[in-house]
Amino acid sequence: MRATRFFISTLKEAPADAEIVSHKLMMRAGMIKRLGSGIYNYMPMGLRVIRKVENIVREEMNRAGAIEMLMPIVQPAELWQETGRWDKMGPELMRVKDRHGRDYIIQPTSEEAITDIVRADIKSYRQLPINFYHIQTKFRDERRPRFGLMRGREFTMKDAYSFDRDLAGMQQSYQVMYDAYVRIFNRFGLQFRAVAADNGAIGGSGSHEFHVIAETGEDALVYCPSSDYAANMEAAEALPLADERAPAQAALQKTATPGKAKCEDVAEFLGLPLQQTVKSLVLAVETEEKEKVSKQIWLLLLRGDHELNEVKAAKVPGLANYRFATEAEIIETFGTPPGYLGPINTKLPVKIVADRTVALMSDFVCGANEADFHFTGANWGRDIPEPLVADLRNVVAGDPSPDGKGVLAIQRGIEVGHVFQLGTRYSQDMKATFLDENGKPQLMQMGCYGIGVTRILGAAIEQNFDDKGIIWPTAIAPFEVVICPMGMDRSEAVKAETEKLYESLLAAGVDVILDDRGERPGAMFADWELIGVPHRIVIGDRGLKEGNLEYLGRRDAAASNIPVQEMQAFIL
């Protein structure tokens, strides 16, 4: 590729709505452009990365015996009514009507569509097992789209669906996918961890998430450094825990993120020990409804990144006194309107979720949806029913590992893949059966397997960047090598050597871009460092006189001279 035939559009500054490094850098590097909330154009530079991610995923899925197909983005509501997800999924499911007033959804995943195919076409045990996948656009009307491609509303996912005759078969299919995922994430060149996970809304039994390790990750991962034990916080939470939390709380302080509001700060702010009871409380925080808690109860997450100290100083002068915040203040402070807060009718235990979050529940019957009526004073005591507290307990660093092989550590991760054993969750509702050896109809055993293709870009950057820009792992870099000629228009020697090297790298199958834009060296180098191309070759008269070209790896502190005739071998 020649830069003059490509589209390069870098920015000095990231737009104001870009909060995290990957979002900022992708915007600055011209990889994506925002079209609407959670909706992005994939620009040519970004699309190259997406295609490389897809190709690795595709190769490994094919290798693992999955069969590629493509299911529609817009799907009839009837299928989703059959499984009950039409009602269950709530506002995250994007619903549209056609001109006849018929209901459709924009697919967030495709369990229904694939099961509909399989129930029609798979009749006999001889046709099983089978695994179909597609790489397709998804839409989820996320409550809070943010962080660029990390939590978009429209995004690309690879989703695969396996069908088996029995439980043992399903578990085997699951293991094949699990192993394929390990190969995929290794090939990306990313540091990752697979953790046991809850099945959540999708249903079924048994699941693992694959996380790219990054401090900015939204999820807390619990693992034991001296064994294989690894789970996400929700799955780890379900473990029976020791009654004594004191040592665990001490360990917690070590894992708090410096520079952000820590749990201790929050506890101090609330005037509480870390684990205690509140009967009513400061509201207007980001909330999330937890499946396991009854509908009436809200779990409120005071997240560490909301700079609670500021809130404390500015907006809540002494929690013992009433203080009401305006709607505008709430939006300004939390970036979210207060509409999430509903009536709250239960007790309010304070608990610590991982290293950055305090969760609170309330008996507060609040006027949360009324303007100017959101913050209130807290009265707290110790009368929380013990079972409720136990229910909500979280694992913290230093807790014993459930396998008895050491103590637990906590690390942050970005969920990039998720594999589920679904069992008959969908085949039952949709009557997807096959005839077994005895000619008897049996329900198919299903598994499903997702990879967030576009999220991988964000996750890779969160793990690999410096103050100059992105550092792509070679396998998914938009280009592997950039050739930067110095004064190509002035020097015949430079021009000749540049063209020669460019052609021979291309011929050797290297994904190389030649920067023939005629930019000044400083601007040219800054662009490629920002874009994150892993290998840079500079060709200039001075080096050529000594028979050298200059090489700089994206992580290298200084460039090195490589003899002209050795450069190709060096790069390969």
Q: Summarize as ranges the residues that interact with ligand ATP (CB under 6 A).
A: 140, 142, 151-152, 155, 157, 415-418, 450, 452, 454-455
Beta-carbon neighbour count of residue 311 at 10 Å? 22
CB of 140 to ligand ATP, least distance (A): 5
CB 301 within 8 A of CB 357: yes
Q: Which does 417 bind (CB under 5 to 8 A by kind): Mg ion, ligand ATP, none?
A: ligand ATP
Q: Which does 452 bind (CB under 5 to 8 A by kind): Mg ion, ligand ATP, none?
A: ligand ATP
- Beta-bridge mates of residue 211: 193, 415
Question: Residue 410: which of 148, 194, 220 has the closest Cα?
Answer: 220
CB of 370 to Mg ion, least distance (A): 29
Q: Which does 142 bind (CB under 5 to 8 A by kind): ligand ATP, Mg ion, none?
A: ligand ATP
Residue 312 sits in the site that holds Mg ion (CB under 5 A): no
CB of 192 to Mg ion, least distance (A): 15
Q: 140: Cβ–Cβ under 8 A, 6 or more apart, which residues?
A: 92, 93, 94, 108, 153, 155
What is the footprint of Mg ion within residues 402-461 (CB under 5 A)?
415, 418
Local structure of 431: helix, strand or coil? coil
> DSSP characters for 269-323?
HHT--SSEEESS----S-EE--TTS-TT--EEEEEGGG-HHHHHHHH-S-TTS--
* Nearest CB to ligand ATP, comparing residues 200 and 343: 200
* Nearest CB to ligand ATP, comparing residues 415 and 462: 415
CB 283 within 8 A of CB 319: no
* Nearest CB to ligand ATP, comparing residues 392 and 416: 416
* Nearest CB to ligand ATP, comparing residues 418 and 554: 418
* Nearest CB to Mg ion, comparing residues 359 and 484: 359
CB of 483 to Mg ion, least distance (A): 41
* Nearest CB to ligand ATP, comparing residues 233 and 471: 233
CB of 133 to Mg ion, least distance (A): 16
* Nearest CB to ligand ATP, comparing residues 119 and 151: 151
CB of 182 to ligand ATP, least distance (A): 15
- Beta-bridge mates of residue 223: 230, 409
Distances (CA, A) of 110 to 121, 403, 449: 17, 36, 11
Question: Residue 361: which of 391, 331, 318 has the closest Cα?
Answer: 391
> DSSP characters for 505-529?
HHHTT--EEE--S---HHHHHHHHH
Q: Which does 60 bind (CB under 5 to 8 A by kind): ligand ATP, Mg ion, none?
A: none
CB of 539 to ligand ATP, least distance (A): 40
Q: Which does 534 bind (CB under 5 to 8 A by kind): Mg ion, ligand ATP, none?
A: none
CB 432 within 8 A of CB 426: yes
Q: Which helix (H) or strand (E) holds 27?
A: helix 21-28
Exposure string over 534-566, b if 16+ CB within 10 A, otherwise e: bbbbbbbeebbeeebbbbbebeeeeeeebebee
Residue whose Cβ sits closest to ligand ATP: 452
Distance CA(57)–CA(312), nearest Å, equals: 47
Instruction: Show the DSSP H helices in 374-488 as ranges.
Output: 386-392, 425-429, 453-463
Q: Which does 155 bind (CB under 5 to 8 A by kind): ligand ATP, Mg ion, none?
A: ligand ATP
Q: Which does 157 bind (CB under 5 to 8 A by kind): ligand ATP, Mg ion, none?
A: ligand ATP
* Nearest CB to Mg ion, comparing residues 333 and 454: 454
* Nearest CB to ligand ATP, comparing residues 416 and 494: 416
Local structure of 39: helix, strand or coil? strand
CB of 146 to ligand ATP, least distance (A): 9
> How many Cα atoms are found within 13 Å in the side-chain-facing hemisphere of 463?
24
CB of 418 to Mg ion, least distance (A): 4
* Nearest CB to Mg ion, comparing residues 219 and 499: 219
How many residues bind to Mg ion according to rule CB under 5 A?
A: 2
CB of 173 to ligand ATP, least distance (A): 17
Q: Which does 85 bind (CB under 5 to 8 A by kind): ligand ATP, Mg ion, none?
A: none
Exposure string over 369-408, b if 16+ CB within 10 A, otherwise e: eeeebbbbebebeeebeeebbeebbbbbbbbbbbeeeeeb
The site for Mg ion (CB under 5 A) is made up of 415, 418
